[in-house]
Structure 1
């Protein structure tokens, strides 16, 4: 039997940067904002349609966030979604 050892590699804290993805910081910010949006939707028990009626933002934008599809939404859209959710949060850049 071989005695193979498994090494440990510490990441940067940004999975996108660790895998050399383009726009790693933007992707990370979108993921963080999406996580916060989903937390509020879940905490308040909101469907994407109900969130639309409360915020005036298209349900498709909420649906894209729920499905982790950030390709069509910019950071500004995600931040706007989050700010309209009527729940305080801190953004540290």
Structure 2
């Protein structure tokens, strides 16, 4: 076998793992933005609703979704412990 690690496939290097991790991050970011936009839509519908019960339900749902999506967007900007070591080697 020639450098395939016994699996029949080439070994994945750090570059492949980095690209995959970056793609996962981009997907998570896009999903969080979508959820935030959806939350804003729910809040707008709540403001336009003439039914108080529906408005309360939409507002509650929108606020929960908005908080969750904004938390996800904030967390993605926090550095990972490995990132700190790579940027500032000891």
Q: Give the TM-score of the pair, scaled to structure 1.
A: 0.28
Highest Rg: 1 or 2? 2
Higher helix share: 2
